Amino acid sequence: MEILSQYYVTQTDIQKLLQMSHKKAKKIYEMVSEMENQELGEFRAHDNKVALKKVLRCLKIDYNFLVRQCQLEEQKKEPSASLAATESSR
């Protein structure tokens, strides 16, 4: 969820956020990076990061949908974490 609050993301961020292989994340990163190079040229903000919104746009993923998905994943993890804490205190 922390990654969603960033405007620019790295290749590793893409991999973690979208839960994909390193190879796929690298392809997506390179595709978006090339787009940014063509659009912005020397005025590009970061050499090793790309805009998250452009990554999502390329993949046709809605930002709000992704936020909701991440929230659901966190909710699924929370009950198991609290259950483990309860069992360890016994």
Give the pLDDT of residue 38.
93
Parse the chain into domains and list their residue ranges.
2-88
Give the pLDDT of residue 84.
53
The stretch 8-12 carries a mean pLDDT of: 96
Digit-coded pLDDT (tens) for 18-66:
999 999 999 999 999 999 999 988 888 888 999 999 999 999 999 999 9
Give the pLDDT of residue 75.
87
- Integer CA distances (angstroms), 66 to 22, 34, 45, 48, in order: 20, 24, 24, 23
Give the pLDDT of residue 12.
96
Closest listed residue to residue 25, CA positions, set 7, 4, 45, 50: 50
Q: How far apart are CA 46 and CA 10, in angstroms?
A: 10
The stretch 78-82 carries a mean pLDDT of: 61
Residue 21 · residue 15 · CB < 8 Å:
yes
Rounded CA Rg of the chain: 17
